[in-house]
Homo-oligomer: A and B are copies of this chain.
Amino acid sequence: MEAATHGADHFAELRRHAGDEHPLPEPLVAELRALLGDRLATTRQVREHHGTDISSYPVTPPDAVAHARSTEEVVAIVGLCARHGVPMIPFGVGTSVEGHVLATRGGVCIDLSQMNRVLEVNASDQDARVEPGATRKQLNAHLRDTGLFFPIDPGADATLGGMASTRASGTNAVRYGTMRENVLGATVVLADGRVIRTGGRARKSAAGYDLTRLFVGAEGTLGVITELTLRLYAIPEGMSAAVCAFPTVAAAVDSVIEAIQCGIPIARVELLDALTVGAINRYSKLELREAPTLWYEFHGTPRGVEEQATQMQEIARSHGGLDFAWATRPEERSRLWQARHDAYFACLQLRKGSRMIATDVCVPISRLAECIALTQEDIAKASMPIPLFGHVGDGNFHLMILVDPDSQADCEEAWELNTRLVRRALAMGGTCTGEHGIGLGKREFLVEEFGEGAVGLMRELKATLDPANLLNPGKVV
C-alpha cells in the first residue's frame, strides 16, 4: 500500500490499510531467524509497537522486527532484505512525529535500540562516539563526571540515531545548533551493503562532498546509521534560568526578536501560550501565571550570565514583561525544563482520548510575530483545543492540534489548519518543518517549499543510493 498524498486522505488511507498483511518470503524469515534467533520478532504486539510513533497516524506495523546488535548484523539484514526485495525501516524508540517509522509498505523493521553503547568519550576533544540506539539522556548520564554535555534535546528521550536521521533540535538550538551542526561523522550501511565512514574527529574539514550532512535528515531513506561521532560542550560555569509572563504572545515574541538582534547569546528561549502554561501547571504541579510566557536559560561565565540576564530583563520589561522569576538552583532548573519537555503529555490531557497533529513551521524571526498573530486567528476559530509553544529564538513554533483520531472531520480540520500555516510560513521565507522532518505528512509541502527541480534532484539522489527503493520507502520523497 502506498500512502495517499493529499491532506486528510493520509489518515483515511492509512486507516484502511493499517491492518494489511504483506507476508514475508519464507526463506527470508528463515535466514533472518538463523542470523538473529529470538531477536527476530513477528508477534502482533511487537510489530504494532514498531508501527507506532507519537503522531495521530494509525498503527501501521511492519511484518517482522529484527533487533540488530552490530554494524555487521545490519549489513547482513540489509543484504537479506535486498535480495528478497523487501522494504526495511530503521527504528530507534519510535518518538518521531511525522509517521517516519510507519511500515506503509510492510517489510522488516530494523530495531537499533540494542545498539546503545557509548563507545568512546574524548573529553579533551569534546566529542563522543556512540551507537545509534543510545538516547540523549543516556549519553548525558554517561557524561555526568566529565564536565561535558550534549545539548540537543527534542522533547522525548529519543535515540541519537533517530535524532540524526530527522535532523532534530530542541530548546538549545538557538545557542548550540541542531543535529546538522553537531554530528561530526557517521558510519552508514548503504542499500548495497557497503559500510562507509562519512567523517572523522577533526573539528572542520574541506575534504570532499559532505556525506555526513547527506545522511543527517535523510530519515533512514538513504542508508542505516550504525554509529555517530557527536560534538560535546563544556558545561558552562554559570547557568541560570528564568520565567517571565507577558500581556500578549506578540509582546513576548517582540522581546525575543530584540534580544537576538542585540546579539545576546541566550542558550534557550521558549514561548508557551496561556493554554500550554495551564496544562503544564496541572501536569507538572507548577504554579505559573497562566499567561503567554517566555522560559529562558543563560550560559556562560558567572558574570557573563548575570550580564545577559540583566539585559534580557530590561528588554522584557520594555515589552511589558510582568515579572521575572529566577530558577538558579540546579534542581529548580531541571524541574522547569523537565516540565517543558513534558509539554506534549501535559497538553494531551487538555482533551481526553485525543492524539496530536503537531505543526512545525520555522520562519525568519522578523516575521515570527506576524506569523503567530495570524495563526492565533485560525486557532480562535478552531473546534478543538490548540496549545501553541515553541523555540522562538529560532523562529520555530508548534501547534498541538488535539484531534479525536477516529474523527475524519477533526483530521480534516487539523490538516486544513496545518496547510494554511505551512503556506503562510513558506510565503514568509520559512520552512514547513523546523525540526520534525518530512516523513509521510509533509511530502507535498516539500515540493511547495523547494519546487519540482530541487525535489527532483532529491529523488535522483534517492535513486542513486537506493535504486530498488527499499530503505524506508515512501518517506521524504
Contact = CB atoms under 8 A, between A and B. Distances in A.
A436 to B, nearest CB: 6
A126 B262 CA distance: 11
A125 B260 CA distance: 9
B464 A460 contact: yes
A234 B262 contact: yes
Contacts of A23: none
A99 interface: no
Nearest to A437: B206
A204 B433 CA distance: 9
A207 B438 contact: yes
Contacts of A260: 126
Contacts of A450: 196-198, 207-208, 211
Contacts of A463: 464
Interface residues of A, number: 97
Contact of A362 (B203, B262, B430, B433): B203
Interface in A352-383: 360, 362-366
Per assembly, the copies of the chain total 2
A247 interface: no
B365 A438 contact: no
A181 B180 CA distance: 9
Contact of A210 (B122, B180, B208, B464): B180
Nearest to A434: B204
Nearest to A305: B304
Given A450-B196, A460-B464, A431 B205 contact: yes
A300 interface: yes
Contacts of A123: 261
Given A167-B206, A202-B434, A458 B261 contact: no
A122 to B, nearest CB: 7
A197 B365 contact: no
A321 to B, nearest CB: 20
A395 B196 contact: no
Contacts of A166: 206
A434 B194 CA distance: 26
Q: 4 nearest interchain CB pairs?
A: A234-B263, A213-B213, A124-B366, A205-B431
20 contacts: A124-B365, A167-B210, A180-B204, A190-B453, A194-B456, A194-B457, A196-B457, A197-B450, A200-B431, A202-B429, A204-B435, A205-B362, A206-B435, A207-B442, A209-B222, A209-B462, A210-B213, A210-B214, A234-B262, A301-B307
